[in-house]
Structure 1
Amino acid sequence: MHGSLHSVDDVMTRTVVTVRRDTPFKDIAALIEERNISALPVVDDEGRVVGVVSEADLLLKEEFRDSDPDRFTQLSRMSDLAKAGALTAQDLMTAPAVTVHDGATLSQAARIMARRKVKRLPVIDSTGSLVGVVSRADLLKVFLRDDESLTEDVRHEVVDRLFPLCADHIQVEVSDGVVTLTGWIDGGALVPVADRLSRAIEGVVDVRCHLTDGTVRSASI
Structure 2
Amino acid sequence: MSGATVADCMTEPVLTVTAGEPALDVAAAMDDQSIKSVVIVDEACQPEGILTSTDYVRMTADGVDPTEATVGEHMTTDIVTTSPETALSAVASTMWDNNISHVPVVDDENRVTGILSATDLTVYLADD
Q: TM-score, normalised by structure 2?
A: 0.84
Question: Would the aligned equivalents of 1:47 and 1:129 in 2 still touch at CA under 8 Å?
Answer: yes
Unpaired stretches in structure 2, ≥5 consecutive residues: none
**Shift in CA distance, 25/7, structure 1 to aligned 2, threshold 3 Å:** same
Unpaired stretches in structure 1, ≥5 consecutive residues: 66-83, 146-221
Structure 2 SS opposite 1:46: coil
Q: Which residue matches 1:96?
A: 78
Where does 1:160-171 land on structure 2 (aligned, <5 Å)? none
Where does 1:83-162 land on structure 2 (aligned, <5 Å)? 84=64, 87-140=69-122, 141-142=124-125, 144-145=127-128
How many residues are paired up?
Answer: 124
Shift of 1:139: 2.2
Deviation per residue, 1:123-142 (Å, 9 max, x gap): 01121111111122322414
Shift of 1:46: 0.7
Where does 1:36-51 land on structure 2 (aligned, <5 Å)? 36-51=34-49
Deviation per residue, 1:170-189 (Å, 9 max, x gap): xxxxxxxxxxxxxxxxxxxx
Where does 1:69-80 land on structure 2 (aligned, <5 Å)? none
Shift of 1:45: 0.9
Q: Which residue matches 1:16?
A: 14
Shift of 1:60: 2.6
Question: In the aligned structure 2, how far is the partner of 1:143 from the partner of 1:26?
Answer: 34
Q: Which residue matches 2:32?
A: 34
Q: Which residue matches 1:168?
A: none
Shift of 1:143: 5.2
Question: In the aligned structure 2, how far is the partner of 1:60 from the partner of 1:139?
Answer: 25
The residue type paired with residue 130 of structure 1 is: V
Q: Which residue matches 1:54?
A: 52
Deviation per residue, 1:45-65 (Å, 9 max, x gap): 111111001122222332122
Deviation per residue, 1:114-157 (Å, 9 max, x gap): 11222221101121111111122322414534xxxxxxxxxxxx
The structure whose RCO (Cα within 8 Å, separation 6+) is larger is 2
More helix per residue: 1
Shift of 1:100: 1.4
Question: In the aligned structure 2, how far is the partner of 1:61 from the partner of 1:144?
Answer: 35
Question: Would the aligned equivalents of 1:5 and 1:142 in 2 still touch at CA under 8 Å?
Answer: no
Answer with 1 or 2: which has the greater Rg. Answer: 1
Question: In the aligned structure 2, how far is the partner of 1:30 from the partner of 1:21?
Answer: 16
* Structure 1 vs Structure 2 CA RMSD: 2.0
**Percent of aligned pairs sharing the same letter:** 27
Shift of 1:97: 1.9
Structure 1 runs of 4+ aligned residues shifted over 4 Å read: none
Question: Would the aligned equivalents of 1:5 and 1:11 in 2 still touch at CA under 8 Å?
Answer: no
